[in-house]
């Protein structure tokens, strides 16, 4: 969803793969989380936990791109310039935090009474 929000349709895979991977699967995960009757309330102090994996992923992708020239998305190509790269990565992190904030808020929503412990 984050990818689709920032740079839809720029992948190297067939378009349907991008739709399934970047829109359908994330939407199903949100629906699953929202309808789970016993989901915990996520503590706001742990919102930052969503950042280490994507940051590590970007570091590995950029390292690989520097060594063999392959990157999974065109906006990560070094030839597009450092400014473009930094702005795209920053935009992705901002959208990721916005999506995480939505999930954290959703963890507090109740549509059915909680089961007794």
Q: Is the dihedral of CA 14, 71, 51, 81 positive or negative?
A: negative
Phi, psi of 71 (to 5 degrees): -135, 150
* Domain spans of the chain, in order of start: 2-106
* Confidence grade of residue 35 (pLDDT, cut at 50, 70, 90): confident
Q: DSSP class of residue 75?
A: G
pTM of the model: 0.71
What are the φ and ψ backbone dihedral angles of 11, each rounded to 5 degrees?
-80, 170
How much is the pLDDT for 16?
Answer: 83
Task: Report the pLDDT averaged over residues 26-34.
Answer: 88
> Quick check: 37 and 110 in contact, CB under 8 A?
no
The mean per-residue pLDDT over the stretch 57-63 comes to: 93
């Amino acid at each position: 969803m984050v990818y689709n929000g920032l740079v839809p349709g720029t992948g190297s895979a067939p378009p349907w793969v991008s739709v399934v991977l970047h829109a359908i699967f994330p939407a199903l995960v949100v629906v699953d989380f929202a309808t789970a009757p016993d989901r915990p309330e996520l503590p706001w102090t742990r919102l930052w936990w969503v950042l280490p994996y994507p940051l590590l992923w970007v570091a590995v992708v950029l390292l690989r791109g520097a060594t063999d020239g392959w990157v999974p998305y065109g906006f990560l190509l070094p030839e597009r310039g450092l400014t473009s790269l930094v702005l795209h990565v920053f935009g992705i992190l901002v959208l990721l935090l916005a999506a995480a904030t939505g999930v954290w808020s959703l963890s507090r929503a109740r549509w059915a009474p909680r089961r007794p412990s």
